[in-house]
Amino acid sequence: MVGRHKEVKIHFLPGHVQVLEDDITIPTQRALITGATGLLGRAVCKEFRDHNWHVLGCGYSRARPRFEQLNLLDAEAIRETVQDFKPHVIVHCAAERRIDVAEKQPDVASDLNVAASGNLAKEADQVGAFLIYISSDYVFDGTSPPYLEEDMPNPLNIYARTKLEGEKAVLQNSEGAAVLRVPALYGEVERLTENPLTLLFNCVQHTHEYAFLDHVQVKFPTHAKDVATVCLQISQRKLEDPSVKGIFHWSNNEQMTKYEIACTMADVFNLPHNHLRPITDAPVGPILRPLNPRLDCSKLEHLGIGQRTPFRIGIKESLWPFLLDKRWRQTVFH
Ligand SMILES: NC(=O)c1ccc[n+]([C@@H]2O[C@H](COP(=O)([O-])OP(=O)(O)OC[C@H]3O[C@@H](n4cnc5c(N)ncnc54)[C@H](OP(=O)(O)O)[C@@H]3O)[C@@H](O)[C@H]2O)c1
């Protein structure tokens, strides 16, 4: 929570001193956000700052100059950062989330997603900080949705396995921690290639080329800012009620395939979509993915926690800076 305080300002004017009292809000709660340079971490930093928390955002290769550089593979660096800042809450967004990279370099993915998460949880516990570990709907195999928090995970690929092991490492090292599983995310990106969903906008706009898109595996595209709001709400609740801990699910409830996501992008910007073609055969490829990992979110809903931005609204907000047709952009937005 934040506190309201009287700030006394003393103005020295020639001949007299004027004392003014201002009623201002000073942050009294500290939040450390890992992965602050990434899609979700940026949204989480903004959400906590907008609610007057004192935020320390940590990134790695993209950290400078806006964020603190913290290599989570360095256990000593984690200890120093946590001990110095003494956060009340840590939202752990950093991860190797590129599925193909995790498959090629499983040890690297495991070092970051599992070992570093365990170390961070240990340090959180030392200073009494509440840790939220961001996990994934991919911990499930997608054969019997919707999934409750206590349903049996069965990860199908290496990324998903490391996320599940990361959950266990966190809960073993910090008994009061929380795991928040979320589905495919989108949001404000620095470039379209930053995120697998926003990347689809490239083929939507290149109307002269056919794009063949999966129309079998379903996703629940969720706005990063909604997940950020949920992290803030869980943190606020935890400060009032220490029994808030364990695994939680949050997800948008609009079910779409990649093909449907691309068609919706075309639709909201009035672009043609005849060049978008559905692939209705079951996906084949070296990396298995769950066909329908829908998350049941009723546990958080019963706590009165949650926010869902309709996909058409959220995707329009996120993509319009990347519209190639500037004339259209001027007509609609200016
Ligand atoms: N995106 C999705 O669709 C999705 C779906 C389900 C779950 N999730 C989970 O949500 C979380 C956030 O995902 P995201 O999409 O925001 O990820 P992202 O955009 O790929 O960001 C990854 C973050 O991890 C940081 N990082 C990488 N290596 C690091 C290291 N050695 N030390 C410290 N930080 C390091 C990166 O920092 P630099 O860039 O500065 O190096 C970056 O800030 C992850 O836990 C992910 O598993 C994501």
* Total count of residues recorded for the chain: 334
Main-chain dihedrals φ then ψ at residue 149, nearest 5 degrees: -60, -35
Take atom 12 of ligand 1 and give the residue whose Cα is closest.
Answer: 93
Q: Quick one: pLDDT at residue 27?
A: 79
CA dihedral angle for residue 198, residue 202, residue 204, residue 205, rounded to 10 degrees:
130
**Residues 238, 198: Cα–Cα separation, whole Å:** 33
Between the CA of 292 and the centroid of ligand 1 the distance, in Å, is 23
Out of 69, 97, 226, 248, mutate this one to test ligand 1's pocket (max ligand atoms within 8 Å of CB): namely: 97
Which atom of ligand 1 is nearest to 63's Cα? Answer: 40
Cα separation values, 144 from 211, 258, 292, 293, Å:
30, 20, 8, 8
Is the torsion defined by CA of 309, 312, 318, 320 positive or negative?
negative
Question: Which pTM does this prediction carry?
Answer: 0.92
- pLDDT per residue as tens digits for the range 18-74: 545 555 566 789 999 999 999 999 999 999 999 999 999 999 999 999 999 999 999
Between the CA of 329 and the centroid of ligand 1 the distance, in Å, is 31
Burial class (CB in 10 A: 0-12, 13-18, 19+), 328: middle
Between the CA of 99 and the centroid of ligand 1 the distance, in Å, is 12
Between the CA of 12 and the centroid of ligand 1 the distance, in Å, is 49
Between the CA of 243 and the centroid of ligand 1 the distance, in Å, is 28
Q: Which H or E run includes 34?
A: strand 30-34
Closest CA to 55 of 5, 6, 93: 93
The mean pLDDT values, 10 residues at a time, for the chain of 334 residues are 43 50 71 98 98 98 94 98 98 97 97 98 98 98 98 98 98 98 97 96 94 96 98 97 97 98 97 95 86 98 98 97 74 50
- pLDDT per residue as tens digits for the range 50-60: 999 999 999 99
Closest CA to 223 of 195, 258, 190: 195
Between the CA of 134 and the centroid of ligand 1 the distance, in Å, is 10
Between the CA of 41 and the centroid of ligand 1 the distance, in Å, is 8
Between the CA of 10 and the centroid of ligand 1 the distance, in Å, is 45
Q: Which residues of 116-204 form beta strands (DSSP E)? A: 130-136, 178-182, 185-186
Which atom of ligand 1 is nearest to 197's Cα? Answer: 3
Take atom 26 of ligand 1 and give the residue whose Cα is closest.
Answer: 94
Q: Within 10 A of 219 (CB to CB), how many other CB atoms are there?
A: 25
**Residue whose token pair is 């997800």:** 251
Is the torsion defined by CA of 269, 199, 165, 179 positive or negative?
negative
Take atom 7 of ligand 1 and give the residue whose Cα is closest.
Answer: 136
CA dihedral angle for residue 27, residue 188, residue 36, residue 251, rounded to 10 degrees:
90
Q: Which H or E run includes 276?
A: strand 276-279
**Residues 47, 53: Cα–Cα separation, whole Å:** 9
Take atom 15 of ligand 1 and give the residue whose Cα is closest.
Answer: 39
Out of 37, 81, 119, 289, mutate this one to test ligand 1's pocket (max ligand atoms within 8 Å of CB): namely: 37
DSSP 59-98: ESTT-TTTSEE--TT-HHHHHHHHHHH--SEEEE------
Q: Who lines ligand 1 at CB under 6 A?
A: 34-35, 37-41, 59-63, 70-73, 93-95, 97, 112, 134, 136, 163, 182, 184-185
- pLDDT per residue as tens digits for the range 313-332: 999 999 999 998 765 555 55
